[in-house]
A and B are shown apart, each in its own frame.
Chain A
Amino acid sequence: ETGVTQTPRHLVMGMTNKKSLKCEQHLGHNAMYWYKQSAKKPLELMFVYSLEERVENNSVPSRFSPECPNSSHLFLHLHTLQPEDSALYLCASSQDRPFLSLAGGIYNEQFFGPGTRLTVL
């Protein structure tokens, strides 16, 4: 257990459906992330939230809409998805946005949830 939970673990949806993915972290972290891991590409960063404010949007299509109502919860709202959006969607959290400490070493390690396996038909 990493302290980051995701629901549902598996989701099958049609292209006209609207669904939401939920992530919750129990670590007291301030930053949360959505990543996409597909069969065809390495892990890709989608969104970064720091203190409930979106600070990064990596050219993600508008059919993916994130929401961060508080520092412990992160949602990814899905609508009119395409079959190529089928992937493992991973949530992660870290104490703060990644940066290096002045003293060096590990800093702002990201803790990942188990992911939601999404299939779009």
Chain B
Amino acid sequence: GESVGLHLPTLSVQEGDNSIINCAYSNSASDYFIWYKQESGKGPQFIIDIRSNMDKRQGQRVTVLLNKTVKHLSLQIAATQPGDSAVYFCAEKEQNFVFGPGTRLSVLP
């Protein structure tokens, strides 16, 4: 039957711990990837990007890892804070962007 809605995987982490959010992408020709954060009631917000000729890129408290062999992207958040609670999703670009369903990150006090 028809699903009620997207069942987003949920990741619960303790405040201060590191978070790792994973994304499997579909198109081996995709050459650019972005991680977005979407808080409740808001539009998506850019976090970090990576090109296909790189395998790692670091930002402030965030790191993106790209494994082209298995078409896998991950987002690592260091010292997770309550304000990091949101849905995180990846996007791959070939011509236009294709978005993943997302993972809900819940930060426990």
Contacts and interface: CB of A to CB of B under 8 A. Distances in A.
9 contacts: A2-B43, A41-B6, A41-B101, A43-B44, A92-B43, A98-B96, A105-B51, A110-B46, A114-B42
Nearest to A92: B43
B97 A98 contact: yes
A90 B3 CA distance: 23
B96 A56 contact: yes
A100 B31 contact: yes
A22 to B, nearest CB: 15
A114 B41 CA distance: 7
Dominant SS among interface residues on chain B: loop
Interface of B: 2-6, 31-32, 41-46, 49, 51, 53, 89, 91, 93, 96-97, 99-102
Nearest to B90: A42
B8 to A, nearest CB: 10
A74 interface: no
B6 A113 contact: no
Nearest to A100: B32
A105 B51 CA distance: 7
A100 B51 contact: yes
Interface residues of A, number: 26
Contacts of B91: 43
A121 B53 CA distance: 47
Contacts of A56: 96
A106 B48 CA distance: 8
A104 B49 CA distance: 10
A90 B89 contact: no
A58 to B, nearest CB: 8
Interface string A34-71: 00000111111100100000001010000000000000
The 6 closest A-B pairs by CB, nearest first: A112-B43, A39-B5, A43-B99, A42-B101, A42-B99, A112-B44
A56 B95 CA distance: 10
A110 B43 CA distance: 11
A54 B51 CA distance: 27
A41 to B, nearest CB: 7
A45 B44 CA distance: 13
